[in-house]
């Protein structure tokens, strides 16, 4: 990666400059990939390019310099002893090795730790012999997570400065200076308490000041925190820590100037970094989309990216062998949804939504929005637990595969002509294509699902062709007329910005017109009476037809309405059919329920189902004793538990809303 090469060149310059008697500071935001770079790139580079022992120390949670001393010593001595044993004692017995370890432990206790600690507190012990040994080893120290240490920052940097200035050890410090400075530049008193409460600071007793502090804290809002037991530290101790830390910010600048010789601002190009971490070609081909959503959210957190990658890989391993005609399209939608939903889960910010209907829009124009939405719901639920019913998911993918094939066949060729980059076409090409599609609109032969897309193209045309603008009002009237003439319901995904490829400067006007069309579709759908789901109960293969219609994304919505599914079913009849039926019948019903109740926000979509769910559960519980098949009894008990789970979810929502 080119950016990494630039960082390494800067560090090489630092390493080779013998006159530069300071530390090298890598400064970057959390999640920018600093630690990944240090552990996977820098340490390997330093070990191969220089005859040095690289000692990596994470300061995360370290509470005092004793721990730093122990980590440095243990890592250094362990490596030296292993190498020496290989050379000097290749055939020695276990007892010799044990004695050798014992000598090492004694040396640690008697020599290094007191020496280092005394050095930190600015006393000058006679440690020349030990440090002579260290410098002969050509050590490089790397201190990571500077801001996450619980040691006083001034004391910690003073400790590191001893290694650099007094003993000439090349030292690389890694941290987030924005977070470090927050310790010194906090105005809110409660936030100051949060900063200092776990820090180990060199505070001293002062009887007069202690009296003043006790009076101050009695009137402070922080007292509530102490009274609630959230902070157990003595009030005076906390106030002393605040007084000490927030009066030392000038010392920080001075010691940083003394300690740090060069600062590298670590901010690698996010796309380049993602490409390195992607790990497979499927994620790589979607890198542009991933970069866009991270940029829109002003996020560069690699941990979220890595979480998304692992979540997708886990899914992909279970479905990679499925024989799907539109496999690549489906996988791309899964990738997009996985990274999009992970970003919302790990870095929630409202501004990511791009359209007034707050629906995720894929970059893949081969997939209908209904499929995108369904996969979005599945992925959202999956990411919360990283668990999924893979058999059901596989069946859903086959259904989605069929819908994609149908969708491709339904989109008119003339509309496809407009789905191109207009700015490299001739005027005549665009005008001819639009005339053809408008003629289809006039003759009512155009798929109503394409209306939102067509409307966006008309707005684009008007922005380019000023002299031959199309009357938007007349177009809306024509579309409404066609909707009202349609003899069936319009699919539910209408009006959610299905492949809106262009938003005009007057975005509000286009949004209003889309709302008008969307409302017209809703009113039209309410006026159409569908076949009742109960009608299938009269057929011999009732359960197969019940499942088939509810599993089909194109048909499922015809048998459900807003907030209603089980409330529309004759549950007495359904319960009797299950009790008198086969294990396969119940399996079909179980799967049908899972398909309809696949929403993570189930309690918002099916609030009216609660009474019939309770009734169905009661009927099945009472009828299970009449069943002779062991498999059917076992399956009924599982289904009853499933119904109980859904009842609890919907009940919680009704209680919250006071219904």
Q: How far apart are CA 85 and CA 101, in angstroms?
A: 11
**What pTM value is reported for the model?**
0.50
Q: What is the pLDDT of residues 5-14, one digit of tens each?
A: 888 999 998 8
Q: Which of 9, 73, 75 is nearest to 41 (CA)?
A: 9
Average pLDDT over residues 188-204: 60
Assign 3-class secondary structure to 494-545.
CCCCCCCCCCCCCHHHHHHHHHHHHHHHHHHHHCCCCCCHHHHHHCCCHHHH
Residue 652 to residues 382, 614, 647: CA-CA distances in angstroms? 21, 14, 9
Mean pLDDT is highest, among 111-125, 445-459, 537-551, for 445-459
Average pLDDT over residues 355-370: 63
Coil, helix or strand for 28?
coil
Average pLDDT over residues 447-459: 84
84 confidence band (pLDDT: 50, 70, 90): low
Q: Which of 389, 376, 336 is nearest to 600 (CA)?
A: 376
CATH fold, domain 2-182, is Rossmann fold (3.40.50)
260-265 vs 53-58, strand pairing mode? unpaired
Are 121 and 169 spatial neighbours (Cβ–Cβ below 8 Å)? no
Q: How far apart are CA 605 and CA 590, in angstroms?
A: 19
Instruction: Using the structure block, give the residue that is written with the tokens 């990738």.
Output: 335
Q: How far apart are CA 258 and CA 165, in angstroms?
A: 9
638 confidence band (pLDDT: 50, 70, 90): very high
Average pLDDT over residues 28-39: 85
Q: Is the model more confident about 69 or about 202? A: 69
At 278 the pLDDT is 87
At 185 the pLDDT is 58
Q: Which of 151, 215, 147 is nearest to 179 (CA)?
A: 147
Query: DSSP of 185-253, one letter per residue?
Result: S---HHHHHHHHTT-B------HHHHHHHHHHHHTSTTHHHHHTTS--S-HHHHHHHHHHHTT-HHHHH
Give the torsion through C-alpha atoms of 80, 82, 85, 87, to 10 deg.
-80
- Lowest average pLDDT, out of 268-282, 471-485, 538-552, 614-628, goes to 538-552
- 339 pLDDT above the threshold of 90: yes
At 82 the pLDDT is 54
At 576 the pLDDT is 92
Return the number of other C-beta atoms located less than 10 Å from residue 72's C-beta: 20
Return the number of other C-beta atoms located less than 10 Å from residue 606's C-beta: 25
Q: What is the pLDDT of residues 497-548, one digit of tens each?
A: 445 667 777 788 888 898 898 888 878 776 765 556 777 787 778 888 777 7
Burial class (CB in 10 A: 0-12, 13-18, 19+), 531: exposed
Average pLDDT over residues 399-407: 84
- Dihedral sign computed on CA atoms, order 413, 418, 423, 429: positive
Are 163 and 156 spatial neighbours (Cβ–Cβ below 8 Å)? no
Residue 295 to residues 277, 282, 290, 369: CA-CA distances in angstroms? 17, 20, 9, 24
- Which contacts qualify for 504-512: CB closer than 8 Å, 24 or more apart? 504/459, 504/460, 504/462, 504/463, 505/463, 506/459, 509/472, 510/455, 510/456, 510/459, 511/356
Q: How far apart are CA 153 and CA 159, in angstroms?
A: 10
Instruction: Using the structure block, give the residue that is written with the tokens 């809002």.
Output: 221
- 232 pLDDT above the threshold of 70: no
Q: Is the model more confident about 220 or about 32? A: 32
Are 323 and 277 spatial neighbours (Cβ–Cβ below 8 Å)? no
Q: How far apart are CA 524 and CA 641, in angstroms?
A: 38
Average pLDDT over residues 255-278: 83
Are 417 and 425 spatial neighbours (Cβ–Cβ below 8 Å)? no
Edge to edge, the sheet with strand 170-175 lists: 53-58, 139-144, 170-175, 23-27, 260-265
Q: What is the pLDDT of residues 617-628, one digit of tens each?
A: 999 999 999 998
- 413 pLDDT above the threshold of 80: no
CA atoms within 13 A on the CB side of 300: 14
Q: How far apart are CA 325 and CA 330, in angstroms?
A: 10
Residue 488 corresponds to which tokens in the numbers above?
């069936």
Instruction: Using the structure block, give the residue that is written with the tokens 């939903």.
Output: 341
Q: Which of 309, 185, 204, 193 is nearest to 247 (CA)?
A: 185
Q: How far apart are CA 128 and CA 585, in angstroms?
A: 84
143 confidence band (pLDDT: 50, 70, 90): very high
At 613 the pLDDT is 92
Give the torsion through C-alpha atoms of 114, 18, 35, 61, to 10 deg.
20
23-27 vs 170-175, strand pairing mode? parallel
Return the number of other C-beta atoms located less than 10 Å from residue 11's C-beta: 21
At 378 the pLDDT is 92
In the chain, how long is the greatest CA-to-CA distance? 98
At 187 the pLDDT is 54
């Amino acid at each position: 990666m080119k950016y990494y090469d630039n960082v390494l060149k800067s560090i090489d310059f630092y390493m080779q400059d013998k006159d530069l008697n300071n530390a090298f500071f890598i400064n970057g935001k959390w999640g920018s990939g600093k630690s990944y770079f240090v552990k996977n790139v820098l340490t390997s580079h330093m070990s191969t390019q220089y005859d040095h022992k690289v000692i990596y120390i994470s300061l995360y949670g370290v509470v005092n310099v004793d721990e730093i001393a122990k980590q440095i010593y243990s890592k250094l001595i362990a490596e030296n002893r292993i190498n020496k044993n290989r050379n000097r004692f290749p055939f020695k017995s276990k007892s010799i090795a044990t004695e050798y370890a014992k000598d090492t432990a004694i040396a640690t206790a008697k020599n290094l730790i007191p020496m280092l600690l005394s050095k930190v507190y600015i006393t000058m012990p006679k440690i020349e012999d030990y440090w002579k040994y260290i410098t002969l080893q050509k050590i490089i120290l790397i201190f990571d997570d500077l801001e996450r240490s619980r040691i006083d920052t001034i004391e910690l940097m003073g400790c590191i400065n001893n290694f650099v200035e007094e003993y000439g050890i090349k030292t690389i410090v890694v941290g987030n200076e924005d977070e470090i400075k927050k310790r010194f530049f906090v105005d809110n008193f409660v936030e100051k308490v949060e900063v200092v409460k776990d820090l180990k600071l060199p505070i001293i007793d002062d009887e007069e000041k202690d009296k003043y502090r006790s009076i101050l804290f009695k009137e402070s809002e922080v007292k509530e925190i102490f009274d609630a037991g959230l902070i157990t530290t003595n009030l005076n101790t906390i106030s002393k820590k605040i007084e000490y830390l927030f009066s030392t910010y000038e010392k920080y600048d001075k010691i940083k100037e003394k300690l740090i010789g060069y600062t590298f601002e670590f901010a690698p190009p996010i796309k380049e970094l993602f490409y390195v971490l992607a790990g497979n070609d499927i994620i790589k081909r979607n890198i542009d989309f991933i970069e866009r959503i991270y940029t829109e959210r002003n996020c560069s957190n690699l941990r979220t990216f890595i979480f998304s990658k692992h979540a997708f890989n886990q899914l992909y391993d279970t479905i990679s062998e499925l024989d799907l005609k539109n496999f690549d399209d489906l996988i791309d939608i899964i990738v997009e949804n996985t990274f999009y939903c992970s970003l919302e889960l790990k870095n929630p910010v409202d501004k990511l939504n791009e359209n007034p209907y707050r629906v995720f829009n894929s970059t893949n124009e081969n997939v209908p929005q209904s499929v995108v939405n369904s996969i979005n719901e599945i992925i959202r639920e999956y990411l919360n637990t990283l668990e999924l019913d893979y058999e059901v998911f596989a069946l859903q993918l086959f259904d989605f595969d069929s819908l994609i094939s149908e969708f491709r066949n339904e989109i008119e060729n003339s509309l496809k002509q407009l789905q191109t980059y207009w700015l490299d076409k001739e005027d005549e090409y665009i005008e001819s294509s639009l005339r053809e599609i408008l003629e289809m609109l006039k003759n009512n032969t155009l798929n109503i699902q394409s209306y939102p897309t067509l409307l966006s193209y008309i707005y684009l045309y008007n922005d380019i062709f000023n002299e031959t603008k199309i009357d938007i009002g007349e177009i809306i009237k024509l579309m409404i007329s066609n909707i009202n003439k349609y003899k069936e319901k319009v699919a539910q995904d209408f009006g959610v910005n299905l492949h809106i490829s262009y938003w005009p400067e007057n975005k509000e006007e286009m949004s209003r017109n889309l709302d008008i069309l969307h409302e017209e579709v809703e009113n039209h759908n309410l006026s159409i009476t569908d076949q009742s789901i109960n009608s299938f109960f009269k057929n011999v293969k009732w359960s197969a037809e019940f499942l088939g219609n509810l599993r089909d994304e194109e048909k499922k919505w015809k048998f459900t309405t807003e907030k209603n599914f089980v409330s529309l079913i004759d549950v007495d009849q359904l319960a009797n059919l299950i009790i008198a039926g086969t294990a396969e019948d119940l399996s079909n019903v179980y799967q049908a329920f899972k398909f309809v109740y696949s929403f993570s926000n189930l309690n918002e979509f099916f609030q009216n189902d609660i009474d019939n769910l309770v009734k169905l559960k009661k009927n099945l519980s009472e009828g299970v004793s009449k069943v002779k098949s062991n498999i059917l009894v076992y399956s009924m008990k599982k289904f009853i538990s499933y119904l109980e789970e859904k009842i609890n979810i919907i009940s919680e929502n009704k209680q919250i809303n006071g219904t």
